[in-house]
Every structure is written in structure tokens, then in C-alpha cells.
Structure 1
Amino acid sequence: MFYKTKRTDDMSLVSKPTDFTKQVREQMASKERGQQLIADLSSHIEDIGKEDYFDVLEVEELVLREQAYAVEVMKKKKDYPTDIPRFSPSSAGKSKAELYLKAIKAEKDEKLTYPFQNRWTRNSTAVHGAMQKTLLEAEVILQNPMFTVMRLPEKGGLPAWEKNIERWKVIEHNGQRFVIFGMCDGILEYKKDGTKVGFEYKTKSNSVAQIKQIKEPNPSHIAQTVAYAILFEVDEWLITYESVAKDKWTTNENARPDFKIFYNKVTEADKKRLLDKWADVAKHVEAGQLPDSPLGKFDYMFFPYKKVYAELTKNG
């Protein structure tokens, strides 16, 4: 056991247990829990992949109802407050500078997009929808599915994801008020213990080899799950990467893995760090001052406000 010492008035040393041992135990338990969830979701995805089936009627009907609901949501004007800064989970990992410029509605750089890039995005979006549909089909096809998609009784039993679960919250933190608004890829029920587990899904498009090369989740994807935890009050998240490209058809059982799953347990400290960041950006928006937020090489590559940023920082 680990101890810390405290000097008393008579200069003797009194041993007291520290929180370190407890933290180590909690980390070990979290690691084991994560490994189990990863293994079970991997098996779940592989099991449904082994099945040879066509349209599942109840899933087709559910998808149609979901699409109709999404259309109605898109028709309605958003009702979140517009007089305070607004942040989204998808931008949680962005720099303070980018969040600030987005919040003040700065003019974005002219963007040149090539046709193949739009097709790239189209294909990834289609695979994204296919995976969600597969999760619904697994509930019907598999005898003992390890996961099911949470339903929204107040919305006629629609799946807990995308437009169905889109929401906003007003946050008050460090003396600042701001809005967090967004939706997520899914909230699942883990059938072994009935707990809620978030599902975050990402695609890779270059080659199936990309999956093997992923050693840990992208930091921005981890930040995204922290934002989801704040918005949806679900702390366990499974970040799943799937390659749109697959191995050769004839590789059969020797095919390289085309997906990989990571576990992230969001802590209160994680939430505080993100809320601190958002509150600091909100403070700078209120003051009308660009945050001192140096951009890394990767940040700058996809930074959509290069022209405005250069103007604001040219004398700094």
C-alpha cells in the first residue's frame, strides 16, 4: 500500500493512506471494463457480419419513420439562445482561436473542394448510415445481441441517435454562459448489465491498412466524447473506426481487420477541462478579443479562418 506522511506537533510521522492506491484500482477496473466492452462490441459487429440476410421489415419501417422525423426537425427553426456563444461536440477539439472566430461568425476562407473529395465524403456518410442500420438489424437477426440501440419512447420509439436525439443545453461555468448543441452517433444499451454506452463512429477511406496503424483515438475524437458526456450524461464511449476500403475479396479468413474500437471513460476532470476551455472562449467573445491560442501545424492545415486570423495577429 502507498502512504503519505504528515508531520505532527511532536515531530513524529503519522502514516495515512493516500488516494493514489484508490486511483490505481479505479484505473485498472476501468481498463478491464473497457477491454470487455471493446471485445463484446467487436464480437457483436462480427456476428451480424456473418449473417446472410436481406431487408429486415421492422428495421426498414423504423428507418423510414426516422427519415420522416429528421425532415420535420430540419424544417423547424432552432430554439437555442442566440445571444451567447454556442459550441458543438464536433468542434470540441478545435483551438480556442477557431472556436472564437466561429462564435463571432467571422468570414471563412474561400474553400476549394474537388469533386472526388465530395464523393469521398458521400461514401463515408453512406457507410455511417449503413453501420447504424446494421446495429438495428442485429437486434432482430442475432439470438442474443450484446448491444441494442436505446429507444426514445417520447418520439415513438425512434433510435437514440442523430436528429432524433439532437438537443441543446445552456451551461454556466466560471462566470460565463454558453450553449452546447448537437447530436451523437448513438447511445447503446449493454445487455450484460443494462448500462448506457455511447457509440462514436468514424470512417477511414484511404486503405484497410489504416486501421492497423491506429494505435489510439484521435485527440479530437476523445474531446468529442467529453462534450457528448456533458450533453447526454453518458460517460462511457466506444469510438469505432471502420475502413471504407476492404481487403481483397479472395483473402477470406485472412483478410486484414477493417475496424478497430477504443474505449473512453469520461471523468469529471475531463468535463471540467472542456468547460474551462469553452468558458475562456466565451469570456474572450464577451471582451471582443482573440484568445492567445497558437495553432499547431495540423490545426492550421484545416483552419477555415486563415485570412481573418492573419489580420488579427499581424501586429502581434
Structure 2
Amino acid sequence: MKKSGDAAGMTRRQFGVMAGGLFAGYVFQGLCRVIDAAPSAQGRLTARPGATPRESGTAGAGTHALGLASPRDAILQLPRNASPGPVPLLVLLHGAGGGAGGVLRRVGEAAGEAGLGVLAPDSRGSTWDGIRDGFGADVMFLDRALARVFGMIAIDPARLAVGGFSDGATYALSLGLINGDLFRRVLAFSPGFIIDGSRHGRPRVFISHGKSDPILPIDHSSRAIVPGLRKDGYDVTYREFDGRHEVPAAIAQEGMRWVARSRQERRRDDQDMTCNKRMGEGETLSRICQVVGRAS
């Protein structure tokens, strides 16, 4: 009888352990589902520019460390020649093994000349999370950095863009398509591929690539990416150049001016494109421009 009682006691203990383990497993699975459903896990950014900054006057021309993390943080660069009113902003992402300071040295001067503000964050690891495994920590940090900048300065939502070089271009292109309702333009200098994700909005895209790139060969990257985007209905400006894995000064300047263009300048460009297309179809210039002018 004693043995039977001991066996029953052991069974109860075993049942308790088993039930506790099952409960912990259900809790863990539930947490995983919550984490997977979080916007950051889908590459979605939640920060949005407001009508007025909450910390008005806290940032002037020059570079500012945001102080969100150490040692890898984020830098805000504001132009000295900015036009009055809200600032056009480019979120600029570095390549693998790099950092904010390096990508600013590469194209920061061209951004300043174009009158662009630049937010350059550091990735949490050696490169961006979506390239290594899945979206997560880098998206959350970028959300924090954007929220901080939106609170510091007035941003022009119509000229809010994301861009990058190499791995940063891959990540910018991917985040830009997923967050096309936030970023109106996407700038990719030598991207490798596009990370899958649910796309929102319809941003315009600028891509450049060196014909002799040994790191991300052009035939397997941009020459495959660009036709796919155009097939999906995206407006893509594409520049190939004689060079390697780099951003030539002329390409950087063109890309930054492309981001900084005002709505009126973009409208004029669209009208010019329409005129040129219809002239090629045989219509007279005066007739075309009358029609386009009325449509605008």
C-alpha cells in the first residue's frame, strides 16, 4: 500500500511538473506571437512628423548626436543653407561594418549642398537586422530616432526620404517600400536585393550602381531590382556609372538634389516628361503644353 501511495505521490508531482511546463510553453508561444505581430517585426515604422516640433529651437545647423544609445547612436546633420520653413529630411543608412559618421563623410556634403537634413543612425550590430535575419532591433531604434528628430525640428512630410549605401541601400530600399506611406522617396546607392515585406504607399525610387562593382555585382542586383520595381508600377530613376562599389560625387549630388526637389519642381519635371513623350508620338509642342498646363 505504501508503495502504491508513493507511486501516486510521484504521479502527482510528475503531473504538476508536466502541467507547469505546458503552461510555460503556452505563455512563451503567446509572447512569440505578440512579438512577431509587433510593427517592428514587420519592418513598420510608427513615428510620424507632427505639425510643430515639441522641442522647438533645440537644433541648429551642424551635427548633433541624439544621445539615444552608446557607443552606437544616431547623428542629425542640419544644413547651413536651409530654406525657411520645414526641413526636407533624408534617413541615411551606412554599409556593413560601418557607422553613421562614415556614411556622412561619404555623401553628407552633397546632402548639405542640397539643403537636406540627414538622420544617420548606427545599426545595432555589424549590419542591419533584416539583412542578417529578421526585422527587429534596428527598426525599433530607427523609430526612436525619428520620433526624437520629429520632436526637435519641423520636417516637410512631402520630402521625407530614406536612403543608403551597399547594405544600407538594401535596407533603405526594403524599409522604403514597406513604409512608402511615410517615405515619399527612396535613394539606393548600390543595393544588393529587396527584403520581402508588405508594401505600403508608392514612393519614387532612385538607384545607382557601378558597372564594375565587385562586392554586389550589378547583373545580380540593380539590373534585376530595377525591372522588377518598374513592373510593379514604381517610378524608378536609374543611373549606371563606370566604377566599382562606390558613390561618385556627381551621383551623390544628383541623388541629393532628387530628394530635395520641391513639389513644384517635381510637377514641372513631370510636365516636361509628358511633353517629351507626347512630342515623340507626333503632337506639336504648343498643343501638348496647352493640354499639360490645363491638367496641372
TM-score normalised by the chain length of structure 1: 0.24
Larger radius of gyration: 2
TM-score normalised by the chain length of structure 2: 0.26
Q: Which has the higher contact order (CA 8 A, sep 6+)?
A: 1
